């Protein structure tokens, strides 16, 4: 019974290149979809980005649209990501936070410190 109510939260370490590839692949797939899906995604994505910039969450949009993207791309359990290795572009960071419903931190530091010398705030 305990296992049914317990959800494992996953934390992933990633590189800027991987997140850029994910962002590019989703945009390419979206470009091939019909106009209704493209417009729906763009509208909901813009709303979600504006709400994130204001410090608000979007549980309805997450439930209807963006949680599915997290499931398709990351398996559905990822809640937090740490990116290191290079500077992540602002567009990719916004995309990962909004469309994949994850909290993304950027790390900076030498290899010996595992990019934990400095971690950017939300």
Mean pLDDT of 117-122: 63
Q: Where are the alpha helices (DSSP H) in the chain?
A: 2-5, 16-32, 35-53, 59-61, 67-74, 90-99
Q: Which of 21, 68, 13 is nearest to 44 (CA)?
A: 68
Instruction: For 44-73, write each residue's pLDDT tens digit.
Output: 999 999 999 998 988 898 888 888 888 888
Q: Are 63 and 74 in contact (CB under 8 A)?
A: no
- Per-residue pLDDT at 1: 47
Residue pLDDT, tens place only, 33-46:
999 999 999 999 99
Phi then psi dihedrals of residue 13, to 5 deg: -95, 135
What's the alpha-carbon Rg for the chain, to the nearest Å?
Answer: 15
**Residue 9 reports pLDDT greater than 70:** no
Please provide residue 61's backbone torsions phi and psi, each rounded to the nearest 5 degrees. Answer: -65, -40
pLDDT for the residue numbered 105: 85
pTM: 0.76
Q: Give mean pLDDT, residues 80-89.
A: 82
pLDDT given for residue 71 in this prediction = 86
Select the more confidently predicted residue: 111 or 75.
Answer: 75
């Amino acid at each position: 019974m305990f296992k049914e109510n317990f959800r494992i939260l996953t934390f992933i370490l990633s590189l800027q290149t991987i997140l850029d590839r994910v962002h590019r692949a989703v945009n390419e797939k979206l470009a091939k979809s019909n106009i209704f899906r493209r417009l729906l995604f763009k509208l909901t994505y813009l709303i979600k980005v504006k709400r994130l910039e204001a410090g608000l969450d979007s549980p309805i949009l997450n439930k209807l649209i963006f949680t599915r993207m997290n499931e398709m791309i990351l398996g559905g359990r990822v809640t937090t990501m740490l990116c290191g290795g290079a500077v992540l572009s602002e567009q990719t960071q916004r995309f990962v936070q909004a469309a994949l419903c994850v909290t993304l931190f950027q790390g900076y530091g030498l290899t010996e410190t595992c990019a934990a010398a400095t971690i950017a705030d939300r």
